[in-house]
Structure 1
Amino acid sequence: MENKKRYKTPKWSKLNAGKVTPVEPQAGSWPLNFFKRNTSNQWTDLEGKLVSFKIRNPYRIDFAGSELNAVLETQQNLTDEQRTIASYFGFGPPTKQWTPIIDRLIDTYNVNPPRAARILAATQAAMNDAFVITWHLKYTFDIARPNQLDPSIETVLPTPHFPAYPSGHSTVSGCAEVVLGYFFPAERARLREIAEQGSMSRLYACVHFPIDNSEGLRLGRQIGQHIVRELRRDRDGENTPVDNPFKEGKGAILPPPPWEQAMPFPPADPAQNTQQPQRNPFFFF
């Protein structure tokens, strides 16, 4: 049953009050690859048709109650494995963990150079768009982080310097899962597993509420599905579809595990691992 109750949502900016510098608050207005904005600042596809995404209305979510309690319960029962998962996916931005996966797929399937470039470019461009859309929502909704509501929370990782809802790691993971699953359909189950693990890692780190992750993952998959529709439209000079997905599976061994970083150079600032709302066609429920 739909929750009709409206909650007072805690604002990240109000609780931050100049304590840290917000990370890229204008990133939600950056250029996109598979989407456009019309004159009303609405998302459209490349042909100008409105694009709609379903995401839970944050004002119908009990962040200060049930969501915060879930974070506290998670913190009290954290296992060593969950801490490892949190640290692995929290090392650098989300793209850091997905880039080696793309490379491993390209190598496993012996993808030729032009197609390898297309797969790499399409997936990275998709993750860029997922970030732009997520950042627009983050700074529009302005939802506080768990430890802003309860300072007793000891996070596994430094709390990122931007609002919580939805989770960027989750949105990017959901998007990458769908786009890579388009190119490598036999690997979809494993890609989904990685995306869900990456999403859950943010709860294990105690830097996100559960709903940040589940809605972020769902949003990312919607973004990915739209991007796949755009990719399927591409034709070569003979009007043949550009993409020919690798339908025969080769059992790619995709990290993690192991839990060692493929690109271990430490970030300079661990916290980087991280206006009024504009009218956009997001469907709230």
Structure 2
Amino acid sequence: MKTKYPRWSKTPYNGEEKPPRNPEEPLAGTWPLFFLKRDDHGWFSDLKGKPLPKVKNPNAIDWQAELKVVERTAKRLTREQERIAVYWGTGAVTKQWTPIIDRLIDTYTIFRVGIPPTSISSPRAARILAITQAAIQDALVVCWEVKYRYDVARPVQQNPNFVPLLCTPRHPSYISGHAIVSGAAAEVLSYFFPAEADRLQELALENGVSRLYAGVHFPIDISEGLRIGKAIGRAVIKEIRKEVNADGQPVDVPFTEDRNAQLPPPPYHQIIPFDFEDVCQSASKGVRVRDRLKEYMRSLKS
């Protein structure tokens, strides 16, 4: 494919002399799917054959204008934006959404007297977890197909002098995995917990924009990722909504009561902490950010 933009596989990262030779899961776009299928045109559809929306062709994107936004954002970062970037950028993309799912289940498991009781059972909790995580997996399969098909270079490659806040991942920029996952997860969870939909959409947007704050993604990576992620979420809902039990009743009974679940973040520390190794092959401002994060954690204790 002839491109009008620098290619990820052909361009060194800032701080490196050669193009990346250690791509992360380059075949993940070929993995099996749960709620989607591949069509005859090299794209994806729901299980009934309705195609997902197509991503914008990267040859039609002004990548220099996108890069200017990344550079301008990096120069004006606030400490709050740094905390947001570090929080959502820690660990795998599932790390922050799994506690959100768990907190929703906990909040709506508190027993309330009613007919039927308005409380989540263990089978229903397992179903919510399984469906949401399956939607996340499908979203990442679609994302990885797009990433390695178009092979768009990262900001740290398109400007060899740019130093991002966080370490740049070892896979192409377009589209954002965090954005597509958050779009899909927020849609599915809003189906199960409609009263929490506004907060879930806020979290999805924050998760997406955190990658701009981190300096590892362009704005278009995020907006397209969110758009496709939401479409994947809707495809999942379309499939599960029609499922019934042995009495012919819908399996899912969304929780319309608003229990105002306290969904993280804030606070901006990991709900499931882990001492990740601080390793980055390319240039980043990671040491300074870690110092500021420690400062923030100390302020919470004081």
Same fold (TM over 0.5): yes
**1:218 offset after TM fit, Å?**
0.9
Larger Rg, first or second structure (1 or 2): 2
Partner of 2:60: 60
**1:61 offset after TM fit, Å?**
0.4
Partner of 1:43: 44
**1:268 offset after TM fit, Å?**
4.5
- TM-score normalised by L of structure 1: 0.89
8 Å contact 1:7–1:62 — kept in the other structure?
no
Q: Distance in 1 between matches of 2:209 and 2:279?
A: 19
8 Å contact 1:7–1:60 — kept in the other structure?
no
SS in 2 for 1:94: coil
Q: Distance in 1 between matches of 2:98 and 2:279?
A: 19
**1:164 offset after TM fit, Å?**
0.4
Task: Determine which of 129, 145, 149 is the counterpart of 1:120.
Answer: 129
8 Å contact 2:185–2:233 — kept in the other structure?
yes
Task: Determine which of 11, 15, 25 is the counterpart of 2:11.
Answer: 15
Amino acid at match of 2:88: F
Q: Distance in 2 between matches of 1:226 and 1:50?
A: 9
Unaligned 5+ segments in structure 1 are 1-5, 273-285
Q: Distance in 1 between matches of 2:3 and 2:151?
A: 14
Partner of 1:201: 210
Q: Count how many residue pairs are aligned between Structure 1 and Structure 2.
A: 265
8 Å contact 1:185–1:246 — kept in the other structure?
yes
SS in 2 for 1:36: strand
Task: Determine which of 154, 158, 162 is the counterpart of 1:153.
Answer: 162
Task: Determine which of 209, 228, 231 is the counterpart of 1:219.
Answer: 228
Partner of 1:109: 108
8 Å contact 1:92–1:270 — kept in the other structure?
no
Partner of 2:188: 179
SS in 2 for 1:229: helix
- TM-score normalised by L of structure 2: 0.84
**1:153 offset after TM fit, Å?**
1.5
**1:112 offset after TM fit, Å?**
1.0
Amino acid at match of 1:120: L
8 Å contact 2:52–2:232 — kept in the other structure?
no
8 Å contact 1:171–1:217 — kept in the other structure?
yes
Question: Which of structure 1's runs of 4+ aligned residues deviate more than 4 A?
Answer: 38-42, 268-272
Amino acid at match of 2:250: P
Q: Distance in 1 between matches of 2:53 and 2:35?
A: 14
Higher relative contact order (CA 8 A, sep 6+): 1
**1:271 offset after TM fit, Å?**
6.0
Q: Distance in 2 between matches of 1:133 and 1:90?
A: 20
SS in 2 for 1:233: coil
Report 1:19-38 matches (<5 A): 19-38=20-39
Unaligned 5+ segments in structure 2 are 13-17, 110-119, 282-302
Q: Distance in 2 between matches of 1:60 and 1:42?
A: 19
Q: Distance in 2 between matches of 1:209 and 1:42?
A: 23
Q: Distance in 1 between matches of 2:76 and 2:238?
A: 42
Q: Distance in 1 between matches of 2:171 and 2:6?
A: 13
Supply the RMSD in Å over aligned alpha carbons.
1.8
> 1:30 and 1:271, CA in 2 relative to 1: closer, same or farther beyond 3 A?
farther
> 1:150 and 1:40, CA in 2 relative to 1: closer, same or farther beyond 3 A?
closer
8 Å contact 2:46–2:52 — kept in the other structure?
no
SS in 1 for 2:136: helix
Q: Distance in 1 between matches of 2:149 and 2:42?
A: 13
Does 2:81 match 1:73?
no
Q: Distance in 1 between matches of 2:38 and 2:102?
A: 32
Amino acid at match of 1:67: E
Moved more, 50-59 or 67-76: 50-59
**1:52 offset after TM fit, Å?**
2.6
Q: Distance in 2 between matches of 1:198 and 1:232?
A: 27
**1:9 offset after TM fit, Å?**
1.6
Write the deviation string for residues 223-282 of structure 1: whole angstroms up to 9, x where unpaired.
11111101102111112111000011100000000011011113347669xxxxxxxxxx
Write the deviation string for residues 95-137 of structure 1: whole angstroms up to 9, x where unpaired.
1000000000000001210100000000000000000000000
> 1:38 and 1:248, CA in 2 relative to 1: closer, same or farther beyond 3 A?
same
> 1:191 and 1:232, CA in 2 relative to 1: closer, same or farther beyond 3 A?
same
Q: Distance in 2 between matches of 1:23 and 1:91?
A: 16
